[in-house]
Chains A and B, each alone.
Chain A
Amino acid sequence: MDKKVAVYICRGCDIGDSLDIDALTSVAQENEAAICREHDCLCGDEGCELIRQDIREGANALVVAACTPRFKTDTFTFDSCRTERVNLREQVVWSHEPNDEDTQMLAEDYMRMGLARAKKVDVPEPFDEEISETILVVGGGVTGLAAAIDAAGAGHEVVIVEKEAQLGGWSSKFAKTFPHKSPYRDVEPVPIEDRIAQVESNDKITVYTGAAIEKISGQPGQFDVKLKANGSNPEFRVGAIVQATGWKPYDASRLEYLGYGKSANVITNIQMEEMISAGEIKRPGDGEQAQRIAFIQCAGSRDQGHLPYCSAVCCRVSIKQALIARDMNPDAEAYVLYKDMRVPGQYEDFYRKAQEDSGIFFTKGDVTGVEVVGDSLQVAAESTLLGENIKLEADLVVLATGLVPNAADGEEIRRFNDAKAVIEKGEAGAQLDAAKVTSEELKHLDGSSILNLDYRQGPDLPQLKYDFADSHFICFPYETRRTGIYTAGCVRMPNDSQASQEDGAGAALKAIQSLRTAKQGQAVHPRWGDQSFPDFALQRCTQCKRCTEECPFGTLNEDVKGTPLLNLTRCRRCGICMGACPERIISFKDYSANIISSMIKAVEIPDELEEKPRLLGLICENDAYPSLDTAGLKRIKHSAYIRFVPVRCLGSVNTVWIADALSGGYDGILLIGCKSGDDYQCHFIKGSELMDKRSENVQEKLTQLALEEERVQLVQLPITDYEKMAQVINEFAEEIEEIGLNPFK
């Protein structure tokens, strides 16, 4: 339907006093605004009524020139038509000289950009797909059971897939656990049996034991699962997945310096659990009862040569085992040698309890080795609290070995598979040799996949550090790079069973959320509620595969020719594919190469005689844009030569915009995004990083055009650095003025 664009200019909050509103009005009219009104306080009842009245009379595309879109959002949201916000307050009058020519030009340009956008964008209509509301839980340990129980409790069908013959995981192998609730002093029985019973008696939950996943294809709401379950191959559809595949103990055979393998009487904490379950703590060597038991903490953990991380539970586990050992044999003595006693929060009370036991001895100490002396063992430790290095005699040494995640590295397995494919194809040349090397170095990954996802970017989740399939975000621990698939428990971090169960519940909620959101054709976090989605004009696709490769969320698969196959509900609407596409065939209804280009072109570029540079700022709407608003709130001034265009993510910036801008006469382009690198802050994982790569070609383009490379710059700023933001802008403006104007004006 045709657009009837209505423009509303607010005079409030210094706007009226700092700008020539009449001039602004005429700019709107020149740019085909059907209606243009001004008001002293647009956000007030009267102002809003003004707008509603026009909507009733057919206005269907609104431009509100007032404060930042981050403010009064509800007030200016009207059913059935989009509102474009022109940020005259924070980013014009509050951050520039009032009643100044440049400020006025800035306001007018923003008005033009707003109108250009309003004319182009359409209201996205959500897709409507058949969504399965069943949740698949991979792993039947304490975490998986919790996830299953809570998902079922929330009213969803659940399928549990467990590789072992029975449910329960490690918990069912342990006789006792350290306390998880007040008063946090006494060893408790493991409540796993009731959990299993709860699951088995729940008619919403289906359990496959002795089962493995053969294949998962599809997307959130439509995952088609094929299992290998003792002979049969059940197939079914689920909507979302919780991966709770748990942990395995660190391989103690690598801990020979601690005597493991040298003496049968040096055991791991897992072997200790087995003896406790068996009801007697004996020396494996000679079957004698162990009177003196030494616990060596951080055996392989907090050790750069082994596991650099802390396994988080071993301190409490050893305390528990010491107490149990004392309980089983009151004459026994337990010695605990620790690096730091890590018993956080109320668990301190459990440590206190163990200390009060006359037969348990604690000291800090760095254990340097364990020697076999006669039929007993001698533990050597340095930097102890006893004021000297010690040797300690023991009948039994228990190594508190750490946790290793039971995860598979999707991206590495993908490399391996790709290499295999190349080899099978038998293409000759360097590519083949490279493939051979890769497949050799990665052959240990063969068949290591757990989820066997049919994703071009690999059959399992990408991993964070040390093989944990965790979120990188502190605020968003359930952020996942495979939409609809959430990890929980020790597969994502070393954790005790209480925390793992809470985590299981959380993952269950996220799974539920993802499919309920998919059902409404919406995106999940961080663009929750966004109903737009990428549209591929495939007839113009050149199969360059950039979109498939660069999508951080594995949204796209490929057909044999390499044409992208969209999986809508995997998509997070970041627009990175759009930024990647050299043919610009990818677009959203309200966000496309075309829309942004037209905004860029809408700016009036003064001719060289005026000597007013024009700078373009493509900035991240999540962090840089709010930061700029805050600068405005603080009345921090910056150059009025720059025009900002907020983007969903710097990764969605298509280099064509830069080219257009430069050929259109802009003198410089500033890209402001979030931190990249190990501690990246980009909400879409690698936006700035990708932009950084792309700007390499941009630099080439600059040289082609014989332009200075300083004209395009990328900076990374955290949301809090609004003072630096203004400074960066001004420095950039000065630099460009020094370089001189763009010859293409």
Chain B
Amino acid sequence: MSGNGKTGKILVIGGGISGITAAVEAAEAGQEVVLVEKRAYMGGRVAQMNEYFPKLCPPSCGLEINLRRFKTSSRIRCLTLSEVERISGGPGNYKVMIKRSPRFVNDKCTVCGACADACPVERPDEYNFGLSSTKAAYLPYDMAYPFQFAIDGGVCPGTECGKCVSACEYGAIDLEMKPETIEVGVNAIIWATGWDPYDATDVAGLGFGTHKNVINNIMMERYASVDGPTGGKIQRPSDRGGIESVAFVQCAGSRDENYLKHCSGVCCMGSLKQARYVREQYPEAEIYVFYIDIRAPGRLEDFFVATKNDEKFHLIKGKVAKVSEDSNGDLEVVAEDTLAGGQVKQRVNLVVLATGLVPANGAGLQIEGELQKDEHGFLTIEQSMGAMFAAGCAKRPTDVAASVRDATGVVAKALHFCGEQSLG
């Protein structure tokens, strides 16, 4: 490229909002990008969210724009169902082995849906957190990118069934597809491997996994989403009943040495937001939020104040340590109101656990020199291997806006290692 700016090739690991941002920002700044995502679609966790706090706007609005940026920019190579296997070399000149699992559906797919109609096999839909199911031949979600079906090799009986193959008029299905490993050379690497929701079944006393109407905050997002298991209606799992009262249990695992030592940073805002979901669908519903500290930094405080001023919203400073279930599925949560100094036993229809963020990074990866992680498992800010940078929730539990800022910033850092270096 003319002028004095550097250009080169950047590997972005993770196709969530951080990875997508890093990829498009780098591409729009003139870089070649390889974007690796282990799922069958781009969007990661935000694709599962109903709305963002504090604007209560749908993530797909921003995703649509970002995916259009993908389409407009010829410089991004998106690899779904792919994982980095090995990294060698050094700053300005990394060699990366990427394992691509078969999608069993090729680019000829027109998303007509005939394969799914023909497919005899059901599978739990992880996009809906297992709250609904899809066929083994499935479209990850309505606005998925790539906009293309996939076949779940885990459950598909393969050629012996082959109903989808004959159903597809466009020759888009190839059950013979094999995993392949490709090698790319890049100047710099951005880790945007994001997070997984903490598994609250470990948390003593809260009844997740045993009491039907105790759900976690991701499930709540799915229930509230129009493309979720209930078409956007918030319901009790046990009887699909409506909600007259709901308790949000903050720090369900987070800030707890027995489970997650760190604060997950976003759950307070998350629950305040979900309280709004419930109030919108059930104007009479009573909302109880049990907390230790409400963490709404910066202007997010406004959202906290606005929510708090709702007369159906009750804040109790005290952690829930006991949840019990009665015959009709209602729940009793117990906490101490530490300001009033008495115990609170509250009956509710639904309990939402504000479960935290667990860093999901670098598992089973061969790499020269270890990835540097802190005691919580997040990637540290400085990585020993020069031109590798962590962005977003791979680095710290944080919200979307902060992840996007961070992901944009690390591209600038990656640029240091572009241009002048030659790619091997």
Contacts and interface: CB of A to CB of B under 8 A. Distances in A.
To the question of whether A and B form a pair in one complex, the answer is: yes
Interface of A: 12-14, 40-41, 43-44, 67, 70-74, 131, 133, 150-151, 153-157, 180-184, 302, 304, 308-312, 340-349, 364, 383-385, 387, 465-466, 468, 470, 473-478, 493-495, 498-499, 502-506, 508-510, 512-513, 516-517, 519, 524-526, 528-529, 622-623, 626, 630, 633-634, 674-675, 679, 681, 683, 718-723
Given A41-B170, A309-B298, A528 B69 contact: yes
Contact of B112 (A13, A182, A674, A683): A13
A75 to B, nearest CB: 8
B27 to A, nearest CB: 9
Nearest to A495: B298
A156 B4 contact: yes
Given A150-B413, A151-B412, A340 B110 contact: no
A12 B112 contact: yes
Contacts of A155: 4-6, 415, 419
Contacts of A474: 52, 55, 57, 62, 400-401, 404
Interface stretch (B209-217, B361-369, B374-382): B374-382
Contacts of B1: 516
B142 A633 contact: yes
B413 A41 contact: no
Given A12-B112, A346-B374, A493-B299, A364 B415 contact: no
A-B interface, 7 closest residue pairs, ranked by CB to CB distance from nearest: A475-B62, A505-B409, A182-B374, A154-B415, A506-B408, A506-B409, A153-B416
Contacts of A154: 5-6, 412, 415-416, 418
A72 B110 CA distance: 8
12 contacts: A12-B169, A12-B170, A153-B412, A153-B415, A309-B298, A310-B298, A344-B295, A468-B299, A475-B63, A502-B410, A505-B409, A506-B406
Contacts of A385: 338-339
Residue in B3, B30, B398 whose Cβ sees the most chain A Cβ within 10 Å: B3
B329 interface: no
Interface of B: 1-6, 17, 25, 28-30, 52, 54-66, 68-69, 71-73, 108, 110-112, 142-143, 147, 169-171, 225-227, 231, 255, 261-265, 293-302, 305, 317, 338-339, 341, 374-376, 378, 380-382, 396-398, 400-402, 404-406, 408-413, 415-416, 418-419
Given A154-B5, A345-B397, A526-B65, A308 B305 contact: yes
B412 A512 contact: yes
Given A342-B297, A509-B409, A634-B142, A476 B69 contact: no
A718 B62 contact: no
Contact of B29 (A71, A383, A512): A512
Nearest to A352: B261
A720 B60 contact: yes
A182 B261 CA distance: 13
Q: Is the interface of A mostly helix, strand, loop or mixed?
A: loop
Nearest to A383: B339
Contacts, number: 258
B61 A719 contact: yes
B110 A630 contact: no
Contacts of A157: 4
A18 B294 CA distance: 56
B301 A509 contact: no
A511 to B, nearest CB: 9
A348 B375 CA distance: 12
B398 A14 contact: no
A557 to B, nearest CB: 27
B62 A345 contact: no
Given A302-B301, A512-B29, A630-B142, 13 more contacts: A150-B413, A153-B413, A310-B301, A345-B262, A345-B263, A347-B263, A348-B261, A349-B262, A476-B404, A505-B408, A516-B1, A517-B28, A718-B58
Contacts of B72: 528-529
Residue in B2, B61, B317, B380 whose Cβ sees the most chain A Cβ within 10 Å: B61
Contacts of B380: 181-182
A509 B10 CA distance: 14
B169 A41 contact: yes
Nearest to A724: B226
A43 to B, nearest CB: 6
Contacts of B170: 12, 41, 44
Contact of B375 (A182, A387, A495): A182
A623 B408 contact: no
Residue in A67, A341, A476, A524 whose Cβ sees the most chain B Cβ within 10 Å: A476
B405 A478 contact: yes
A340 B294 contact: yes
A182 B379 CA distance: 10
A586 B169 CA distance: 47
A562 to B, nearest CB: 34
Contacts of A718: 57-58, 61
B108 A133 contact: no
A348 B409 contact: no
A73 to B, nearest CB: 5
B205 to A, nearest CB: 21
A477 B404 contact: yes
B397 A513 contact: no
B299 A13 contact: no
B405 A502 contact: yes
B366 to A, nearest CB: 23
